Amino acid sequence: MGYNSIAVSHLSLEYVSVPVTVTTLAGAAYNPTGDTVQMAFMPQATQAPGSADWQTAIWSTDTSDLLYPYSANCLIGPGGTITLGIGTYVIYVKVTDSPEIPVLQAPMQLEVY
């Protein structure tokens, strides 16, 4: 699987944003922003996130984007939700709904330099 990369300095404090595709629920458009969203940053593609790896994230909405109107965002860096060391990370997004709790691997990786 090929990945796009997001490059962020380890000195930077900024949001990492991952677009989230939402399907319809019973034929109606679904807005996930009332659901809890979390993100995990794993240093190896073969490493699955454990319960301690999940970080608090927030939703953002862009109504002009028809394909990805919703994004999950996590503040990384010194003073953020998580401080990551220099390296490459696979990004996961977890949305807690009822009864579903999908865990999605982002279509990009994070390069911290």
- Render pLDDT for 27-59 as a digit per residue (tens, 0 to 9): 788 899 999 999 999 999 899 999 999 999 999
Query: What residues of the chain score a pLDDT lower than 70?
Result: 1-3
- C-alpha 80/C-alpha 76 separation (Å) is 5
Q: What is the pLDDT of residue 1?
A: 46
User: If one looks up domain 4-112 in CATH, what number appears?
Assistant: 2.60.40
CA torsion 5→75→40→65, rounded to 10°? -60
Q: What is the pLDDT of residue 101?
A: 94
Please state the domain extents for the chain: 4-112
Q: What is the pLDDT of residue 22?
A: 82
Mean pLDDT of the chain: 93
pTM for the predicted model, two decimal places: 0.91
